[in-house]
A and B are shown apart, each in its own frame.
Chain A
Amino acid sequence: MKFRRNPDYQDLRSEMTPEDLFWNRRKLMAASGAIGAGLAFAGTAHGDPAPNGPKAGAQPAPGTALKSKKTAWTISDSLASEEAVVGYCNFYEFGTDKSDPARYADKMTVSPWSIEVSGETGAAGKYAVEDLVDYGKLEERVYRHRCVEAWSMVVPWVGVPLSSIISKLKPGPKAKFVQFETYLNPSEMRGVRYPVIDWPYVEGLRIDEAMNELAFVAVGVYGKALPKQNGAPLRTVVPWKYGFKGTKSIVKIRFVEKMPDTAWNKANAHEYGFYSNVNPNVDHPRWSQASERVIGGKKFNERRKTEIFNGYEKQVASLYSGMDLTKNF
Chain B
Amino acid sequence: MKPLTLLALILPGAYVVLEWTLALSGFPHDMGFNPVQWTHHFLGETALRILLVSLAITPLRDITGWAPIILIRRRIGLAAFFYALAHLLAYVWLDLDWSMPKLWEDILQRTYITLGMGAVAGLIPLAITSTNGMIRRMGRQAWQRLHYLVYPIAILAVAHHFFAEKGIQMGPLIHGAILAFLLAWRLVKFIRLRIAAAQPA
Interface residues of A (CB under 8 A from B): 83-84, 87-88, 92, 96, 98-99, 149, 151, 194-197, 264, 267-268, 283, 285-288, 293, 295-296, 300-301
Contacts and interface: CB of A to CB of B under 8 A. Distances in A.
Given A96-B167, A197-B167, A301-B94, A87 B32 contact: yes
Interface residues of B, number: 23
B33 A300 contact: no
**8 tightest Cβ-Cβ pairs between the two chains A and B:** A88-B33, A196-B167, A84-B33, A286-B110, A301-B36, A96-B169, A300-B35, A295-B33
Chain A at the B interface: SS class: loop
19 contacts: A87-B33, A96-B165, A96-B167, A98-B32, A99-B32, A151-B37, A195-B168, A196-B169, A197-B167, A285-B110, A285-B111, A286-B163, A286-B164, A287-B110, A288-B106, A295-B34, A300-B36, A301-B36, A301-B94
Contacts of A288: 102, 106
A297 B200 CA distance: 73
B201 interface: no
Nearest to A98: B32
Interface in B139-190: 163-170
Interface string B98-138: 00001000100111100000000000000000000000000
Contacts of A195: 168
A87 to B, nearest CB: 6
A264 B163 CA distance: 15
B23 interface: yes
Residue of B35, B37, B94 with most partner-chain A CB within 10 A: B37
A196 B164 CA distance: 14
B32 A300 contact: no
B114 to A, nearest CB: 11
Interface of B: 23-24, 32-37, 94, 102, 106, 109-112, 163-170
Nearest to B34: A295
A195 B33 CA distance: 26
Contacts of A83: 33
A293 B33 contact: no
Given A87-B32, A149-B166, A196-B168, 5 more contacts: A84-B33, A96-B167, A195-B168, A286-B164, A300-B24
A141 to B, nearest CB: 22
Nearest to B170: A194
A194 B33 CA distance: 25
Contacts of A84: 33
A129 to B, nearest CB: 29
Nearest to A150: B95
B167 A267 contact: yes
A87 B33 CA distance: 8
Contacts of B34: 88, 98, 151, 293, 295
A286 B106 CA distance: 8
A295 B109 CA distance: 26
Contacts of A264: 167
Nearest to A244: B166
B23 A88 contact: no
